[in-house]
Chains A and B, each alone.
Chain A
């Protein structure tokens, strides 16, 4: 009788946990999806981070990226760092990057990398990362859109000075900084990099940045707008830290920490549409961001 009671209690506990777990997943899955408009003339790109593991799951997410490309022709993928984990011998470039994304590379999709804390500095010379030998750089794939690719593990004053100058002279309506360490994150493992925030955030606010793309924490998170800026953490392109989003951080607008994910985005005039897509192809977050405009 005692045994039966114990088993019953255990079964009840398991059931409650299962209901809670399913409920949490259901909550993520039932968020209304804002479809990417997929308009002719809009600019389409993807965002990927913390991916270069060479594991099966990285390849599976890469297959979802390829599947998306079949119906949504994004031109580039911006990489938020941690492009290769562990060894970086020539075969690693193949198994951790060139093989999984081969269909995209073959289709002419260009990858633009920033470096994370797991990346050797030589990656800047790697042709397929399009860094042109620079640790930090900027490029404009389309009028009114410019990416600022930063090196956040070693923010020398020269880089900050360079960034300010580039933001200042850029006439692009959309200025999107891309780097590894998140200024805002609900990660229990890493979380927000407040020292970097002190230096970068004032520039982002001053120069009307609307969206910032980061990684490092191994999940997907869209942070509630901070001083008008939407921060994304897209650090689960290959690595995953399950259940690592602190739901009590007060920062999370949407989060997904149960599987790998990447982001697809489309800029159409003053709107940026986005979808976060999981390894199974589910859209786990979506929405539209209105561009910030100068105060005057």
Chain B
């Protein structure tokens, strides 16, 4: 039953996104690309599980564009640094990570909140999260995220380009949430700090963007 529902959702989302793609005008922001038959097989940054209206698909398209731009910067920095071998020493890991952090921060010196979670995409993200957490499993999902997460993002000084606090454990992101939000590559992850949704650059340990109060009460 669950699989059928998921399949129906994917079909609906695909239809909505394809419709959006077909109907956009010349000046409209580029829409989220069509989702393929299974969200797991969609290319990075292109999976969105709806249902989405044409307008929502267009709004998330602006976020996808920003993610692509971020990843281009990330790749540029990565290529400029020595590759960490798969059998690295702690010193090699630490040096690489700190260099990565410094370079990303320099490349995005003028970055600000909303650059990736664009003003257009933000309400859609919030609506999708509301839908997930408003469902029958909502309480369990929220409990899973809040496990070891009783922190205050303001006190922790969560900000764009800030280092993810070393002493704060990573929140678990349940599969349902990951299937709902636009897909990311391995270089970026959704996490929560308190009830703020952040985009975390996993190599740089840097917060790329965030949405305050994203977890429904």
Q: Does A152 contact B (CB under 8 A)?
A: yes
Known: A90-B94, A135-B186, A155-B178. A118 touches B169 (CB 8 A): yes
User: How many B residues, CB 8 Å from partner?
Assistant: 38
Which residue of B88, B167, B202 contacts A126 across the interface (Cβ within 8 Å)? B88
Known: A117-B169, A193-B172. A127 touches B89 (CB 8 A): yes
B166 touches A86 (CB 8 A): yes
**Which residues on the A side are within 8 Å of B173 (C-beta)?**
153-155
**Which residues on the A side are within 8 Å of B169 (C-beta)?**
117-118
Which residues between 24 and 53 of chain B lie within 8 Å of chain A, taking CB atoms? 39-40
Which residue of B88, B137, B170 contacts A127 across the interface (Cβ within 8 Å)? B88
Instruction: Compute how far the CA of A154 lies from the CA of B187 in the bound complex, rounded to whole angstroms.
Output: 13
B144 touches A195 (CB 8 A): yes
Instruction: Compute how far the CA of A157 lies from the CA of B174 in the bound complex, rounded to whole angstroms.
Output: 10
A153 touches B88 (CB 8 A): no
B39 to chain A, nearest CB (A): 6
Which residue of A121, A132, A181, A196 contacts B86 across the interface (Cβ within 8 Å)? A132
B189 touches A87 (CB 8 A): no
Known: A90-B94, A117-B148, A117-B169. A125 touches B84 (CB 8 A): yes
A196 touches B89 (CB 8 A): no
Instruction: Compute how far the CA of A259 lies from the CA of B148 in the bound complex, rounded to whole angstroms.
Output: 22
Instruction: Compute how far the CA of A93 lies from the CA of B96 in the bound complex, rounded to whole angstroms.
Output: 16
Known: A89-B94, A154-B189, A157-B39. A133 touches B175 (CB 8 A): no
B167 to chain A, nearest CB (A): 6
Which residue of B171, B179, B189 contacts A117 across the interface (Cβ within 8 Å)? B171
Q: Does A88 contact B (CB under 8 A)?
A: yes
A244 to chain B, nearest CB (A): 14
Q: Does B154 contact A (CB under 8 A)?
A: no
Q: Does A106 contact B (CB under 8 A)?
A: no
Instruction: Compute how far the CA of A118 lies from the CA of B168 in the bound complex, rounded to whole angstroms.
Output: 8
B178 to chain A, nearest CB (A): 5
Binary CB contact string for chain A from 111 to 134 against chain B (1 if under 8 A, 0 otherwise): 000000111111101110001110
Instruction: Compute how far the CA of A97 lies from the CA of B167 in the bound complex, rounded to whole angstroms.
Output: 18
**Which residues on the A side are within 8 Å of B167 (C-beta)?**
86-87
Q: What are 17 A-B residue pairs whose CB atoms fall within 8 Å in the complex?
A: A87-B167, A88-B94, A90-B93, A120-B205, A122-B97, A125-B88, A126-B88, A126-B90, A131-B86, A152-B172, A155-B174, A156-B175, A158-B40, A190-B147, A193-B172, A196-B175, A198-B175
Interface, chain A (partner B; CB < 8 A): 86-90, 92-94, 117-123, 125-127, 131-133, 135, 152-158, 160-161, 181, 190, 193-196, 198-199
